[in-house]
Amino acid sequence: MKKFLAIAAIAIHIPIIFYFWQIDSWQLLTSGQTNLTLIALARIFGLLAVYFVLSQLIFIGRVKWLEKQFGLDKLSIWHHFNGFFALLFILAHPFLLIIAYGGLNNLGFFSQIMDFIRHYPDVWQAVIAVLIFVTIVTLSVSFIRKHLKYEKWYFLHLLTYVAILMAFGHQLKLGGDFHNNLFVFYWYALYFLAFGQLIWYRFLTPLYNFYRHHFFLDHVVEENAGALSCYIKGRNLSEFKVVPGQFMIVRFLNKQLWWQQHPFSISGYQAGEYIRLTIKPLGDFTSTLKDNVKVGDKILLDGPHGVFILKRAVKNKLLFIAGGVGITPIRSILEEALLAGREATLLYGNRNEQEIIFKDELDELKKQHQFGLHYILSEKISSVFEHGNIDKEKISRLVPDLKEREVYLCGPVPMMKAIRRQLTELGLPKKLIHFEKFSLG
């Protein structure tokens, strides 16, 4: 029901926009004259383009009421695909207007473009905005994005805000549907709602939390596989509500690192005491973290985010499956589950024994709670550990009561894909498989 309401709160604007559009444009649409019909269509495409672009801000704005229902990873996927629809409308709007006005003015395609730019207010800004949108959506196509460094892609993406502002002027000055004052008011409200929520959740909330809690790096512990556990403390930490399994978007406020932020899962949590994030060296930021952070560094925390949490499980019996650093959220959920008396089994895949993060902690947890703990190593054959990848055979053998369980899965994307497929082949419904991807979008 809450999910439905959240979607309704966004979708409701489509009929409202259509309602205001038809007041002035229905006559044009049904006039029987091609150019006027095209103008009416161009107008609705323009309005929808703005609606889709503003929805982009909501999907990526870490908006709490939406994120709580769907999780940031799903919202990032929506953001990705919504961007393509936005671009379709963004392109269709000027294209139809150029054809229609070109027809009415007896001008060719390019002459009509020049006529718009020379004689209509704020159109040149809108043209630049379109070029920015086209560039950004093109850069977001998977095979192009793969070749771009994340930071480059991210900073170019920020130009979207410039484009949105540049496109605004021509809407109210030229838009044929804005004769109605109520519509003008509604249009401003729409922008206010989108930007207001983005600014509130994405920028002001982390700053406010920093002001309240003064987060800082208390100490670091080196784990296996070169991973670094960062223990974060702060003032009145018991008032900062965090749920095991969630993640934080972290910015270390020192000279080297302040300009970038990265998401990391909560691998350990003691209410009121500390939050632990465990970071494995994989790229530029994570590989140099050890040299760039020092105890006492202030930290800006955006979050907690995510719905990879114990509360989602309806069944008492749980199966946790982790691969490599994917153990981080599972480590904290597992402990919460065991303390709550839930029955759990963990299958934990790694290349070799040296790569098993939290091995001592997990062994200790097993002593205290007697849960099923199976290390599965792909590289080394040993009599102590299972050998190979986590697959159907191992799951059915090590977890014969799979169908009575609900699964939490986190690891490299190819591994997660393969295991999700195999779990469904073993008869587990998809809705009982919860997973966390270590990439947004």
Ligand X SMILES: Cc1cc2nc3c(=O)[nH]c(=O)nc-3n(C[C@H](O)[C@H](O)[C@H](O)COP(=O)(O)OP(=O)(O)OC[C@H]3O[C@@H](n4cnc5c(N)ncnc54)[C@H](O)[C@@H]3O)c2cc1C
Query: Rule CB under 6 A: which residues touch ligand X?
Result: 150, 247, 261-265, 278-280, 282-286, 325, 328, 436, 438-440
d(CA 353, CA 375): 9
Look at the block and give the residue holding tokens 């395609």: 109
Q: What kind and span of H or E run contains 155?
A: helix 150-157
Q: What is the nearest approach in angstroms of ligand X to the Cβ of residue 159?
A: 17
d(CA 175, CA 46): 9
Q: For residue 399, what are its two tokens?
A: 């977890």
Distances (CA, A) of 144 to 77, 140, 149, 153, 339: 17, 7, 10, 10, 46
Minimal CB distance residue for ligand X: 283
Q: What is the nearest approach in angstroms of ligand X to the Cβ of residue 192?
A: 28
DSSP string for residues in 397-412? HH-TTGGGEEEEEES-
Nearer to ligand X, 29 or 440 (CB): 440
Q: What is the nearest approach in angstroms of ligand X to the Cβ of residue 373?
A: 20
Nearer to ligand X, 150 or 216 (CB): 150
Nearer to ligand X, 116 or 435 (CB): 435
Nearer to ligand X, 80 or 93 (CB): 80
Nearer to ligand X, 62 or 93 (CB): 62
Q: What is the nearest approach in angstroms of ligand X to the Cβ of residue 435?
A: 11
Asked if 370 and 396 touch (Cβ cutoff 8 Å), the reply is no
Nearer to ligand X, 175 or 306 (CB): 306
Amino acid residing at 70: F
Q: What is the nearest approach in angstroms of ligand X to the Cβ of residue 68?
A: 15
How many residues does this entry show for the chain?
441
Nearer to ligand X, 160 or 328 (CB): 328
Q: For residue 132, what are its two tokens?
A: 């920015």
| DSSP β-bridge partners for residue 228 | 222, 279
Q: What is the nearest approach in angstroms of ligand X to the Cβ of residue 199?
A: 20
Nearer to ligand X, 171 or 332 (CB): 332
Amino acid residing at 61: G
Report the half-sphere exposure of 345 (CA within 13 A, side-chain side): 18
Cis peptide before 304 (omega within 30 of 0): yes
Q: What is the nearest approach in angstroms of ligand X to the Cβ of residue 283?
A: 2
Nearer to ligand X, 261 or 389 (CB): 261
Distances (CA, A) of 301 to 53, 156, 214, 266, 440: 27, 23, 10, 12, 17
Nearer to ligand X, 94 or 326 (CB): 326
Q: What is the nearest approach in angstroms of ligand X to the Cβ of residue 261?
A: 6
DSSP string for residues in 299-350? EEEEEEE---SGGG--SSEEEEEEEGGGHHHHHHHHHHHHHTT-EEEEEEEE
Q: What is the nearest approach in angstroms of ligand X to the Cβ of residue 355?
A: 13
Amino acid residing at 402: L
Q: What is the nearest approach in angstroms of ligand X to the Cβ of residue 284?
A: 4
d(CA 90, CA 174): 16
Distances (CA, A) of 269 to 273, 294, 306, 334: 8, 21, 15, 12
Q: For residue 379, what are its two tokens?
A: 């590289």
Nearer to ligand X, 175 or 245 (CB): 245
Asked if 177 and 21 touch (Cβ cutoff 8 Å), the reply is yes
Q: What is the nearest approach in angstroms of ligand X to the Cβ of residue 258?
A: 13
Q: What kind and span of H or E run contains 30?
A: none
Q: What kind and span of H or E run contains 26?
A: helix 13-29
